[in-house]
């Protein structure tokens, strides 16, 4: 496959035991961690590598392909992935399900996420214009639809081009883990987050856990590498406590502080 800047790399997808279900992680070929900070170029970054993995999974016989969106270096609206899939002959009988890590719509993908991918304000404006043009060229326009902005608009591109089903990723994973059942009778819950900020309320795992803990009346404590929440945002999450811990030693100290 190819990384976000078009350089060859080896990336894997998982073919599950039934042989008909595959899992493709967007970060495996299109991840931000694949590009050094000095090389980050939000306008050049492409999801082509993710498209190559999806096409490979379809060619291997998968009929249900789960695409785990998140951690991408890209804001191409899925253009690279769509091109790579079509160049490989399409999806055949395979259906796509995108596990989305955010709820924002397609048109906000650049505004919200591109700055952390190397885009300055001028680049954000250009990327937004490019997404607008891309949306108009797709068979279905993803603008205004929840979750279409995940992975720099990749989710919206796959929805618009191939009819992908968009699924809240956090809820999907918590369902597989039986989280609600595990929460029953719990005295408290503890979770972690790299950076706790406004995006945490937009479909991220910590936001979904906080919602379920509020409903179950179980206090939730969060250990985060950094905290950038306004008082209003913190109130919306309804956390029992937030501990900022950016080093292994600080995390260990936080764990001791929360121990009964």
CATH number of the structural domain 180-258: 3.30.160
* pTM, full prediction: 0.89
pLDDT tens-digit map of 47-65: 999 999 999 999 999 999 9
* Inter-residue contact 208 to 168 (CB < 8 Å): yes
User: 14-170, what's its fold?
Assistant: Glycerate kinase, domain 2 (3.90.1510)
- The pLDDT score that the predictor gives to residue 260 is 74
Cα 171 versus chain centre, distance: 13
Q: Which sequence spans correspond to the domains of the chain?
A: 14-170, 180-258
pLDDT tens-digit map of 141-160: 999 999 999 999 999 999 99
Topology agreement, domain 14-170 and domain 180-258: no
pLDDT band at 202; cut points 50, 70, 90: confident
* Inter-residue contact 59 to 83 (CB < 8 Å): no
């Amino acid at each position: 496959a190819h990384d976000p800047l078009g350089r060859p790399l080896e990336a894997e997808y998982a073919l599950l035991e039934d042989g008909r279900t595959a899992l493709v992680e967007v970060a495996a070929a299109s991840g931000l961690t694949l590009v050094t900070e000095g090389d980050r170029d939000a306008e050049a970054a492409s999801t082509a590598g993710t498209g190559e993995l999806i096409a490979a999974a379809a060619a291997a016989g998968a009929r249900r392909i789960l695409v785990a969106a998140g951690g991408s270096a890209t804001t191409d609206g899925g253009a690279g992935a769509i091109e790579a899939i079509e160049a490989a002959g399409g999806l055949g009988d395979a259906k796509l399900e995108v596990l989305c890590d955010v709820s924002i719509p397609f048109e906000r993908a650049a505004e919200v996420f591109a700055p952390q991918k190397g885009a300055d304000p001028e680049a954000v404006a250009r990327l937004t214009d490019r997404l607008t043009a891309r949306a108009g060229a797709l068979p279905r326009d993803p603008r205004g639809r929840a979750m279409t902005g995940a992975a720099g608009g990749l989710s919206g591109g796959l929805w618009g081009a191939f009819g992908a089903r968009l699924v809240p990723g956090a809820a999907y994973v918590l369902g597989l883990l039986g989280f609600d059942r595990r929460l029953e009778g719990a005295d408290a819950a503890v979770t972690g987050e790299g950076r706790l900020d406004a995006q945490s309320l937009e479909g991220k795992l910590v936001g979904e856990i906080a919602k379920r803990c509020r409903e179950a009346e179980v206090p939730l404590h969060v250990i985060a590498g950094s905290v950038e929440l306004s008082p209003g945002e913190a109130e919306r999450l309804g956390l029992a406590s937030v501990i900022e811990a950016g080093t292994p030693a600080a995390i260990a100290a936080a764990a001791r502080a929360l121990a009964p």
